[in-house]
Amino acid sequence: MEIKFHHVYIYFWIFGLLNNVLYVVILSAAVDIVGPSLPKSLVLLTDILPSFIVKLLAPFFIHRLGYRKRVGSLIVLSTFGMLMVSSGKLSVCLLGIVLASISSGFGEITFLQLTHYYEKVALSGWSSGTGGAGLFGSGLYMSFTSILKISVKTSLLFFTLLPFGFILYYKLEKGNNSVEDPASNDPFLDYTDRDTDALVAAPSSPITSMVTQDRSFSFKVHFLATCSSLKELILPFMLPLTTVYLFEYLINQAVAPTLLFPLGQKNMPFFFNKYRDIYVTYGTLYQLGVFISRSTAHLVRLRKLYLLSILQGFNLVFALLQSWLYLVSSPWPVMVLVLYEGFLGGASYVSTFLNILEDVEPGKREFALGSVSIADSFGVLIAAFIGLALEPMLCNHQVADGRPWCRME
């Protein structure tokens, strides 16, 4: 059975949405999880660190795991993770975030590598779906909690059902015989290694000692070769993506919680009933910008990745000035800024991976697609650590300046 062009796009759109939606929902719920007294970057750190570790280590072991097993693990990790997040107890909730984060990082590597077999149509679907996840997750969470007044626990429980949609992968796999099990192509699991597995398990002898040394040497060669391949990706792809995500997540998780306005003033959106509603709205607008840019990459293509880093840096500077000096007294300009910030972030993501598909030779492409995903997580991770100190500093300044809204619910 041959998979049609538009079916590939739809499948990968769904995979992108499912893989990222829990990550987005957790960040949107950050203010509800930790409350106004703790920095929201605590949730960001818990949401990104496990994912980053998985992405960092994956180039060294991912080639040994087949796609079918990977997808099955995503379903289990995501479901149990969200069940724990909805518990309402902070310690259990943070552990659930860790499981969901591992699933998100593992899933991103898996599906980005799969785009190697389905090419640009799959990457376009995946990118648009991840953007759609932001809009769907943050928008639905805002609707549940801010407009429909559904409890936080019930709202989070709803999202435990979504990971079962990954089952669609097995239907996609049946229609494409060109998708190969990575483990079957592992150069370090060739005929010689398989034959020597039994020898390694046998009692010690000169032969088994020689085999063990040979396998140790093979691992060392593989490790050094992987590091060398990663080094080639840093300047053209990883560094610009890292800086864009560093700037935007500093805005989202450290500065945006302090970009608040008095609720009683005129021309405020009707659904701003609490200060947490302003933060949740920023998250939704950011995800809208991400969705627009990731869905229109075929129309607006940006090859100069460092330009996006510079523009995102300007956004961070303005956000910091607004938080510190209160330059504008209306939320609308800030809401436009957040939308534009999301657009730049989404454009950087999809443009980076499209450049990889076009510029990296086919033999290295699958590795590059999976490995460059380290870059965005690294930027978010740095932002999380900085945000732990930055948000309290901005909030303390605002309170001293007569703007205590960051301490209110």
Alpha-carbon span 41 to 155, nearest angstrom: 22
Q: What is the pLDDT of residue 195?
A: 44
> Can you list the pairs that 264-268 forms with residues at least 24 positions away whose Cβ atoms lie under 8 Å?
265/329, 267/330, 267/332, 268/331
DSSP state of 2: P
Spatial distance between the Cα atoms of 112 and 12, rounded to a whole number of angstroms = 10
- The parent domain of residue 91 ranges over 5-407
Mean pLDDT of 114-132: 87
Is the pLDDT at 210 greater than 60? The verdict is no
Say if residues 297 and 354 touch (Cβ distance below 8 Å). yes
Region 181-205 average pLDDT: 45
pLDDT higher at 348 or 267:
348
Between CA 376 and CA 242 the distance in angstroms is: 5
Q: CA nearest 383: which of 294, 336, 335, 319?
A: 319
> What's the confidence (pLDDT) of residue 191?
38
31-88 pLDDT tens trace: 788 877 777 788 888 988 999 999 998 888 887 888 889 999 999 999 999 999 998 8
DSSP letters for 161-172:
SGGGGGGHHHHH
Poorest-confidence range of 173-182, 238-247, 283-292? 173-182
| Pairwise pLDDT comparison (280 vs 79), residue with the higher score | 79
> What is the rounded average pLDDT of the residues 150-162?
92
Q: Residues 49, 383, 94, CA angle at the centre, nearest 5°?
A: 40
pLDDT tops 60 at residue 202: no
- Angle at Cα 122 formed by Cα 118 and Cα 125, nearest 5°? 170
| Distance (Å, whole) CA 371 – CA 58 | 8
Query: Does residue 207 register a pLDDT over 80?
Result: no
CA 353 to mean position of chain CA atoms: 14
Give the side-chain half-sphere CA count within 13 A for 345.
32
Q: pLDDT-based confidence at 200, cuts 50/70/90? A: very low
- Give the residue with greater pLDDT, 184 vs 334: 334
* pLDDT tens digits, 311-360: 999 999 999 999 999 999 999 999 999 999 999 999 998 899 889 988 88
* pTM: predicted TM-score of the whole model, two decimal places: 0.75
Query: What's the pLDDT score for residue 197?
Result: 47
Contact 286, 338 (CB under 8 A): yes
CA distance 400 to 386: 22
- Supply the CATH number for residue 351's domain: 1.20.1250.20
Render pLDDT for 218-231 as a digit per residue (tens, 0 to 9): 667 777 888 888 89
**255 pLDDT band (50/70/90 cuts)?**
very high
Give me the percent of the chain exceeding a pLDDT of 70.
87
How many CA atoms are closer than 13 Å to the CA of 316, on its beta-carbon side? 23
Q: Count of domains in the chain?
A: 1
Sequence-distant (6+) residues with CB within 8 A of 264 are none
- The sign of the torsion formed by the CA atoms of 199, 200, 201, 207 equals positive
In angstroms, the CA 123 to CA 305 distance is 18
Token output for 179? 């998708």
pLDDT band at 213 (very low <50, low <70, confident <90, very high): low
User: Which residues, 6 or more positions from 314, have their beta carbon under 8 angstroms from its beta carbon?
Assistant: none
| Residue 176 confidence (pLDDT) above 70 | no
Going by C-alpha positions, the residue among 96, 95, 106 that lies closest to residue 54 is 106
For residue 325, the model assigns a pLDDT of 96
What is the reported pLDDT for 178?
Answer: 62
